[in-house]
Chains A and B, each alone.
Chain A
Amino acid sequence: MSLKALRIVWRVTALNFRAQLEYRTEFLLMVAIGAVWQVSVIVFATVLLTRFTGMGGWDSSDVLLIPATRMLAHGLFVLFLGRMHWAGRQIQEGRIDVYLLRPMPVHRQVQLAYFPTNAIGDLTVAAGLMVGALSRSDLDWTAGRITYLIAAVLGGMLLEAALFTVVASAALRFPAADYWGRWLEELLGTFGSYPLNVLPRAVGGLLTYGLPLAFVAYFPAAVLTGHDTAVPYWLAAASPLLGLLAYLGARLLWRWALRHYSGVNG
């Protein structure tokens, strides 16, 4: 992205944010919904720390790294790339047609449609959880581990963005595909916080090779804490890279789908 394009992105984002601030109650409600939406993860973490010593052979403090990584990745996804989750609605409202009239990439315009105020709540909870997870961790947090954790969070963000971009690409052709996005969000929220070895092998396999949820936080946390998983170590360790590759692949799919866009209402 050129410097000029970055300036436009910053300007539109700042204006959108200012526009949200003007409706004070609505703004605070959106921040709150972002935090409340993660209540199941907070309950899970609380129960894990107060009632159990561990899960699936993992200590509680190690397990806590999984929801912390996933939530931080999710919060960043919502902040930077999350409008893809609502692309289906923008397609059905015909806004894609308008985006195609401007000399600017459509994907960027989808992201600039509004400011995601709920991301503030998401990120606040996620940052708190990550601070808690790191403070309880017995690991030696070397520069290498910290770098890998940062890469894992970014990789998780990109992987989630890739999954929603695939759904949005399908929605360009089949508007009903948008419902799959809701199912996907539900699935990520439900299974994203657990060490997947507690699940039946088939389900774990599905969440690894079918819907690659395991690469968002479970495998990176296993690499950091030294736990074995059902996949070779190199594959688990490559999670951040896979997130990047999945995102690049999804963007290519989006471009292809956009070239074959047939519009709404015929």
Chain B
Amino acid sequence: MSGSIEVRGLTRTFHTTVRRPGLAGALRSLVNPERVAKHAVLDVSFDVAPGELLALLGPNGAGKSTTIKMLTGILTPTAGEARVAGVVPYQERERNARNIGAVFGQRTQLWWDLPVRESFAILRDIYEVPKAEHAARLKEFDELLDLSSFWDTRVRHLSLGQRVRSDLAAALLHDPPVVFLDEPTIGMDVVVKEQVREFLRNQVEERGRTVLLTTHDMTEVERLAERVVLINHGRLMLDGTLEEIRRKFGSTWQVRATLADPHAEVVPPPGIALLRHDGPRVVFGPDGPDAPTVHQALKAVIERFEVTDIGIDEADLEDVMRAAYVQATGDA
């Protein structure tokens, strides 16, 4: 089964009442409410290829969770259409549910009062997974997520890290081709985060699952995603690779060099700007939209100048995304 996700013009509009200030305003709103349409998601289109991990990014309230809810069949879009593994999720909810796994970092899909393993067994029955297959998959997940140390504990007694690892396993036990992860590592310690990232990488690379991930953790994005979709105020702002995002949003690298000849004339290579020149020390940065990557720039500088020392400063993804969010907010 193809695990692709196709989203075309997806829109979800909520109608809310305008809150007027003060007691008199509140009373007026009660008698004569002013209703406004708020577009949580507006005309969003993108594709995720089978076996691809796409990070859906955006500031709080951007529309990420609403998009995921429409793709998982929880919400029906106001307009547009979506297909997940060939199924329209909001029209065939139960069929779609068999094709997907989902983890919402702040909610569990396990039975609160039951030991984790009992929840797994119930899900096996619900999804009609053969017993041998279920046991083999559980063994594999145990090796990756260390589940057996706590799977006889009731869900209500688990730590957050244990609970989310259990939820991840529960979401994948029926072998879905598509997985939705809404902030899966929120609130976790670094060790468990790394364990979860390893697990996700394994599921994408070894099992070929299609993953749509939302997160505010840029380390996670950098480690897992090749491509990101950025949305803000419900609109798609950017769909591209991490490199494209780095290129688009500001000066994201600097090459610092110490020249062997302090009096040499400094004419930078194409696409590279001279930012500072202080005796033998020079600093280069990208120049224009066709600027090279930092590694290309490093090579070009070494080829053009005789240097005694050279280094690079690259803005981390956190800085890049901050710039992207600020620009996206300004554009909206």
Binding site for B on A (CB under 8 A): 4, 7-8, 11-12, 15-16, 19-20, 94-95, 97-98, 100-104, 114, 259-263, 266
Contact = CB atoms under 8 A, between A and B. Distances in A.
A12 B109 contact: no
B14 A102 contact: no
A16 B115 CA distance: 10
A263 B97 contact: no
A262 B109 contact: no
Contacts, number: 71
B276 to A, nearest CB: 48
Nearest to B101: A101
B98 interface: yes
A15 B111 contact: yes
A101 B178 CA distance: 13
Contacts of B100: 101
Contact of A97 (B97, B104, B113, B122): B104
Interface of B: 14, 40, 66, 69, 72-76, 93-95, 97-98, 100, 102, 104, 107-109, 111-114, 118, 122-123, 125-128, 154
A111 B108 CA distance: 18
Contact of B74 (A16, A261, A266): A261
Contacts of B93: 100
Contact of A263 (B69, B108, B128): B69
17 contacts: A8-B122, A11-B125, A15-B114, A15-B118, A16-B113, A19-B154, A95-B107, A98-B104, A100-B72, A101-B100, A102-B126, A103-B95, A103-B97, A104-B94, A114-B113, A263-B74, A266-B14
Nearest to B103: A101
B115 to A, nearest CB: 8
Given A15-B118, A19-B154, A262-B14, A101 B113 contact: no
Contacts of A15: 111, 114, 118, 122
B74 A101 contact: yes
B135 to A, nearest CB: 18
